[in-house]
Structures are given as structure tokens and as C-alpha cells.
Chain A
Amino acid sequence: MASAESPALQVQFDTEAQQKDASTLGMWIFLITEVMFFGGMFTAYTVYRRAYSDAFAAASASLNVTIGAINTAVLLVSSFTMVMAVRAAQLGQRRAIVLFLVLALIFGGIFLGVKAYEWNEKFEQHHVPGPSFHLDGVTQQGHAQLFFSLYFAMTGLHAAHMVIGVGLIAWLIWLARKGTFTAEYNTPVDMVGLYWHFVDIIWIFLFPLLYLIDRHLPR
């Protein structure tokens, strides 16, 4: 039952440990649903890359590898600051929690900003699928367009998840500043952390699959 010492305990649970256990399991199951959700797009990508390897390689080469790699690093650092925030929460260090969450937010924001820049570049180069699409040096424009359709769909879906993540981190910052999180109660930080790391893992796969197709070929 809810009491003065454990105000966060909900009525259906017997102990805080059970509640935290349930929340963690619930979040992991949700992440599995996300694996399958992104999985559909990864399947489409795999089918078409196999079928149109040349067009995909040419299209991939038009992406800026340096920016992509740096952005990957940015997101990894954001993940690092996120797990440091979780660690601070486990130790009940209020100021550190806020600091690391803010850093995670900033790096996440940088990632999104760079992504927006990249998308804008694609738009200017007429690499956005649609009537004005054109990729130089490729006979099968349709196949190249498919690459970019998947590029925008997958990075777009990923970015949407990041935006939600940024919102969640902002909410955590607000709660953390109020002193909500202690060594005994820090489940929300843990849960958002799991979500944020998952979004990072998606990008860990998107980067090589989209940016690094047959880069050894001369262009």
C-alpha cells in the first residue's frame, strides 16, 4: 500500500521492488516491439539492397561519410551521458543527474540538427524521392530512388523516436531539478535511459547500412 515513505508505490503492487521489476520488464518488452517495428523496414532494405546493389551503392556514395561518422559519435556520447545520468540517480546525486541529462539532451539535439542539415542537403541535390528526383551516374533511377525512400523512411522514423526521447529527457530534467529522484526511487531515469540506448542501437545499424555500401569502389 502507498505510505509516507514510499509515495510512488501503486496499489496493484506489494513492494517497490516488484513495481520496479515490472516496469523494467515492461520497458524491455516495449523495446522488443520497437525492434520488430524497425525490423520491417530493415527487411525491406535488405530485399532491395540485394536486388539493386549497384544503384544502392551509388546512392549511398552520395551521403557524406564524415558527417555520418561524426554524428554517430555524437549519439554514442549522448548515450554515455545518459548512462552517467542513470548512475548519478542510483547514487542519489541530484546535481549530477541534471547535468548529465542536460548533456544527453544537448548531444541528442546536435544529432538532430546535423540530420536536418543532411536532409536539407539531399533536398538541394534533388535526391528526395519524387518527380524531381535525379541521381547522377545511375541508369536505373527508380532503384536509386528506392534507396533514398528507405533512407528517408528509416532515418525519419529514427529521428521521430529521437524527438520523443528528447521530450522524455526534458521531462526528466524537470523532475530531477525538483529532487524527485533518489537512490531508492529512480525508475523513470532508468526507463528513459533504456529507450534512449535503444534508439542509439538503431542508429548503430543505420550508419553502416546506409552510409557505407561498397565505399571501396572508385567514384
Chain B
Amino acid sequence: MNTAAIHEREDYLNVSHGLKSWLLTKDHKRIGLLYLATITLFFFLGGLFATIIRIELLTPGGGLVSSETYNKLFTMHGVTMIFFFLIPSIPAVLGNFFLPMMIGARDLAFPRINLLSWYLLVIGGLFALFAMLAGGVDTGWTFYTPYSTTYSNTWVIATALGIFVAGFSSILTGLNFIVTVHRMRAPGMTWFRMPLFVWAHYATALIQVLGTPVLAVTIVLVFCERVFHIGIFDPALGGDPVLFQHLFWFYSHPAVYIMILPAMGVVSELVSTFSRKAIFGYRVVAFSSVAIAVLGFLVWGHHMFVSGQSVFAGMAFSFLSYFVAIPSAIKVFNWTATLYKGSISYETPMLYAFGFIGLFTIGGLTGLFVAALGIDVHVTDTYFVVAHFHYIMVGGAIMAYLGGLHYWWPKMTGRMYPEAWAKLSALVIFLGFNLTFFPQFILGYLGMPRRYHTYPEEFQVLHVLSTAGASVLAVGYAIPMIYFAWSLRHGKMAGANPWGATGLEWKTASPPPLHNFDQMPVVTHDAYDYSTVVGEAVEVG
């Protein structure tokens, strides 16, 4: 036997080296990692703004920053977190990496467009970053007119341009995913054998493709208004600022489903794997994803109840908003039903899944509160709404993102993360999150407005609790950054299927070879058929 040089198995990471091999890659897995690095940077930028905001809110009189600066802080926090972190996050990192593998494809349908998507996010991000460094923008992430078009003296256009470019990143990703799911499934991989993660990303892609272009044209109109004073949103010329809001929210409401649907897709995978059981009601969950995508386009006026929109339309939008809650609730019921008589284990990804289910439920239920026209009149533009969407976006989406990152880390890197530290940080994040945002429900109910940096003395205790929670949360987020980086060199080597999970991605090596599979799979089983993984040990670090 030839015992000369032991060859390192070739995988997508070592098949080529050097900066060019990354910056010009067409490999969906490498592109996923490029996105991971990019959005992590934006997450910390957005977190920095949040930190300053929470420190400012420790005292009722403000004082750390001026009102003008505070306006810029919450604007840039929102813009960064929504457009440059949350919207790309799960689809661009985990979706890019795993969607092709899950359906047995060698890559997405259009690998070069995939790379272009990443460059567009980076370029858009650079525009936005430039705006932030040059002096910032103070309109709120919602850019309401006529303030953004006529009165604001800040870097509106640069920021809007950055969002415009990033929007095309999102559109192209969605386009790529839709074509891939329709045309690139392996033999035997029928629609109803696909993992629910894929269904969730397909539904998300529909929203990206149908909604984002309207945001794009709205930004074009804001640009024209600001530069050429065309009058389209200017009451002096007969323009209607409420028209801006309609066009803006037509995208921005479905956008929240772009942020949560992929998270739900992750949770379906986690709940199944760590209950060792097929997801209860697979088809219902699959159809619910599509239902959320479709219904999500019919409810945007619930952001405009007090805008001057007709009360009749307000009532119609309120009524429709209750329907979109139904498929989300169905999913929560189905995940819970999956747990029943499952063989549950409590590895870190499952902890995040549990966190998601609880916190998303709270966020979702409070969504019903604000969907009620009568209640919303009182709590709109208060911290109640801020708490509502942070429960969904942070308690929900970010937890699912972290859960997915931990779950698929061994597959992406070939290394396990340290389980004890991971469990600890999951707990710290859960506690920190609730301490940060639960007081905000109370604050909002008591009347604390959003986007204000000074407030009556009686609100201080709740604000202090919230800021304390934020510092705990920050620690919770920092720990995984450290141990993930550590694991790349020192983490335990991972096998092909450390969780004993179903799914095609677990049937290939960790890290996977360049074209994902040594032999193209032929699919003969349903998505969560655990009889196919009998005997695969669960390895925990």
C-alpha cells in the first residue's frame, strides 16, 4: 500500500485558493460564506447604533446625543438591520448554501447572477455606509414624505441609492431560487418530497420578486422628487404623501415575510431533526408558507391606519390582516404537534428553535393587537409596536438564523462548535432578549412614543431594564462570534451527518465537495423519513 502523502479530501473550501477564487467564485457554497461575512459586519454596525440608542435612553433627559443625531441613529439602525442584515441573512447565507443541496442540484440555476447578487449587496452597503459616515440620514427607515423629499438636509439620496442597489440583490436571489426549485430538482425529488426549508425559501422568493421592484420604483420617485421637485409627493403641487406610504408599504409589509419565512423554514428543519420525527402536517406547512407570501401582499394598509388613509380602507386592511396570521399560527401548531411523542434532544439548534417558537408566538399575537384598528390608533408609533416587531425579528428571525447557523455549521466547515459554550450563549441571548424587549411592550402601552430620545421620568425604570437587557444580549451575540471563529481551527472534526438528520445535504461529506455530491442522488423517500438514517450516531461536541 502506498503510504506516501496522505491526500486531504478535496472539498469546496480547499479546491482552489486565493482571493480571486473567492471574489470570482460561481460556487453557491462560497457565495453563501461571502454573504455570511458581509452581513455579520452589517449586524455589528446596526448593533453599534442600537447600543448608542439604548445608552441614550438610560436617562429621561437624553444628553448623550442631540435630537438630530438620535434621529440619525434610529434611522441607520433600521436601514442597516433590515436591508443589509435581515433581508439577506437566512436566504443569502443558508439558502444559497443549502437549497441546491437539499434538492440534489450541483448549484443554483444561475451561478453568475448569484455572485452578482452578492456584489450588489456589497455595493449597496457601501453607498449606505458612505451616507452614514458622511453625516447620516434622519428620516427613519421608512423615509416618509414630504420630510424625506423636501425638508431633510441629510444624505437621503445616497442611502436610498444603497437600498435601491441592495434591492436588486434581493430580486436576483429570489429569481434564482424560483428557477432552481422549478427546474433543477434531482430525479425523484418531487415538490412534496422537498424539505420545508425549500418551500419556505420558494415562498420567500415569490415575495422578493413581486414586492421589491415596487420599493425600487418608489425610491426612484423619491429621488426625482428630491432632485427635480416633480411634486409627486408634495402637497403644494397636488402631490399626496400618503401615496408614498402606499407604494412604500406595498413592499415593506411583504418584506417582513421575507425576513420571517426563511426563519420558519429553518425551524421546521430543526424541530424535525431534534424530535427525530417528520414534521406534523407537512403539506399544510408547505401550503402555509405560500399562503403567507400571498396574503402578505394584501394587508399593507395596516401600517397606515393613522396616516389619513380612508377609514373604510383601514377597516378592509385590518380585516385582511387577521387572515395572514392564520397560516403562521398553523405552523406553530404543527411544530408543537411534531414534538408530541418525538424523541427530543436539546442541542443548541433545538434551544434556538424553542426560543423561536415561544418568542415568535408572542410577537405574532401582539401583531393581532396592532392589526385591530381600534387598538392600533392608541399604540401606533409607540414602543408597543417596536416591541412587537423586535419579538418577531430578533426573538424570531435572528434566533432561527443562529439556530440554523449552529445546525449547519458542521456541514459548512467540517467542524463542530463547542456545545457547552453554545448552550450558554443561547440562554444568555434568550434572557437578554426578553429583558430588553418585554419592558418595551409596557412602555408602549403606557404611551412612550417611538423615535423619541427624551421621556417622562416615570418611564425610566423600564428603559433602564431594557438597556440592561441589551447589554446582556450583546454579550450573548459576541460569544458565538468567538467560538465559531475558534472552531475553524480547533473544533472537533464533524462527520457527514452529526445530527442523524434526514435531507440530502447530510448524505454528502462535511465540508461538501465542489459539486455537492460525488454521485447525483436519486430520491426515493419523503423529506423527513428517519428510517433512512437508522444507526447514524448523533455526535455532540
- How far in angstroms is the closest Cβ of chain A from B155? 23
Write the A27-49 contact mask toward B (1 if CB under 8 angstroms, else 0). Answer: 00110111111111101100110
Q: Contacts A26-B109, A44-B221, A149-B228 given; 14 further ones with Cβ under 8 A? A: A22-B110, A25-B182, A25-B183, A26-B179, A32-B209, A37-B213, A40-B214, A41-B217, A41-B221, A44-B232, A48-B239, A142-B238, A145-B237, A150-B232
Would B216 and A12 count as touching, CB distance under 8 A?
no
Contact of B229 with A by CB under 8 A: yes
Contact of A127 with B by CB under 8 A: no
Count how many chain B residues have C-beta atoms less than 8 Å from C-beta atoms of the other chain.
42
CA A119 to CA B243, docked complex, whole Å? 27
CB-CB under 8 A from B182, the residues of chain A are 25
26 A-B contacts, Cβ less than 8 Å apart?
A: A12-B107, A12-B108, A13-B184, A21-B183, A25-B178, A26-B110, A29-B178, A29-B179, A30-B175, A33-B175, A34-B213, A39-B214, A39-B217, A40-B213, A40-B214, A40-B221, A41-B217, A41-B221, A43-B247, A44-B232, A44-B247, A129-B230, A143-B238, A146-B230, A146-B231, A153-B232
Select from chain A the residue with minimum beta-carbon distance to B224: A153
Contact of A137 with B by CB under 8 A: no
Would A142 and B230 count as touching, CB distance under 8 A?
no
Select from chain A the residue with minimum beta-carbon distance to B246: A43
Contact of A116 with B by CB under 8 A: no
Would A12 and B111 count as touching, CB distance under 8 A?
yes
Contact of A140 with B by CB under 8 A: yes
Select from chain A the residue with minimum beta-carbon distance to B219: A40
Contact of B525 with A by CB under 8 A: no
Write the B194-238 contact mask toward A (1 if CB under 8 angstroms, else 0). Answer: 000000000000000111111011101100100011111000111
CB-CB under 8 A from A25, the residues of chain B are 178-179, 182-183
CB-CB under 8 A from A22, the residues of chain B are 109-110, 179, 183-184
Contact of B515 with A by CB under 8 A: yes
Contact of B423 with A by CB under 8 A: no
Would A146 and B232 count as touching, CB distance under 8 A?
yes
CB-CB under 8 A from B211, the residues of chain A are 36
CB-CB under 8 A from A21, the residues of chain B are 183
CB-CB under 8 A from A198, the residues of chain B are none
CA A37 to CA B250, docked complex, whole Å? 12
- How far in angstroms is the closest Cβ of chain B from A119? 14
Select from chain B the residue with minimum beta-carbon distance to A55: B238
Contact of A130 with B by CB under 8 A: yes
- How far in angstroms is the closest Cβ of chain A from B380? 24
Contact of A18 with B by CB under 8 A: yes
Write the B437-479 contact mask toward A (1 if CB under 8 angstroms, else 0). Answer: 0000000000000000000000000000000000000000000
**If A12-B106, A18-B183, A145-B237 touch, does A44 touch B214 (CB 8 Å cutoff)?**
no
- How far in angstroms is the closest Cβ of chain A from B105? 7
Contact of B381 with A by CB under 8 A: no
Would A33 and B209 count as touching, CB distance under 8 A?
yes
Contact of B529 with A by CB under 8 A: no
A contact patch SS: helix
Would B238 and A48 count as touching, CB distance under 8 A?
yes
Would A51 and B238 count as touching, CB distance under 8 A?
yes
Contact of B526 with A by CB under 8 A: no
Would B179 and A40 count as touching, CB distance under 8 A?
no
CA A35 to CA B224, docked complex, whole Å? 20
Would B231 and A40 count as touching, CB distance under 8 A?
no
- How far in angstroms is the closest Cβ of chain B from A189? 19
B contact patch SS: helix
Would A130 and B183 count as touching, CB distance under 8 A?
no
Contact of A204 with B by CB under 8 A: no
CB-CB under 8 A from B228, the residues of chain A are 129-130, 149
Contact of A11 with B by CB under 8 A: yes
Contact of A106 with B by CB under 8 A: no
Would B229 and A130 count as touching, CB distance under 8 A?
yes
CA A142 to CA B240, docked complex, whole Å? 12
CB-CB under 8 A from B220, the residues of chain A are 153, 157
Would B238 and A11 count as touching, CB distance under 8 A?
no
CB-CB under 8 A from A149, the residues of chain B are 224, 228, 230-232
CA A44 to CA B106, docked complex, whole Å? 43
- How far in angstroms is the closest Cβ of chain A from B100? 8
Contact of A52 with B by CB under 8 A: yes
Would B209 and A37 count as touching, CB distance under 8 A?
no
CB-CB under 8 A from B58, the residues of chain A are none
Select from chain A the residue with minimum beta-carbon distance to B248: A40
Which of A18, A26, A47, A130 makes the CB contact (< 8 A) with B175?
A26
Contact of B171 with A by CB under 8 A: yes
CA A149 to CA B176, docked complex, whole Å? 35
- How far in angstroms is the closest Cβ of chain A from B232? 6
Would A12 and B209 count as touching, CB distance under 8 A?
no
**If A11-B515, A22-B179 touch, does A40 touch B247 (CB 8 Å cutoff)?**
yes
Task: Count chain B CB atoms within 10 A of each CB in A33, A130, A140, A142 and give the residue with the most.
Answer: A33
**If A22-B179, A25-B179, A130-B229 touch, does A33 touch B171 (CB 8 Å cutoff)?**
yes
Would A146 and B109 count as touching, CB distance under 8 A?
no
- How far in angstroms is the closest Cβ of chain A from B217? 4
CA A136 to CA B27, docked complex, whole Å? 61
Which of B109, B111, B231, B240 makes the CB contact (< 8 A) with A145?
B231
- How far in angstroms is the closest Cβ of chain A from B404? 24
CB-CB under 8 A from A11, the residues of chain B are 106-107, 515
- How far in angstroms is the closest Cβ of chain B from A29? 5
- How far in angstroms is the closest Cβ of chain B from A64? 22
CB-CB under 8 A from A143, the residues of chain B are 237-238
**If A129-B230, A145-B231 touch, does A153 touch B213 (CB 8 Å cutoff)?**
no
Would A29 and B175 count as touching, CB distance under 8 A?
yes
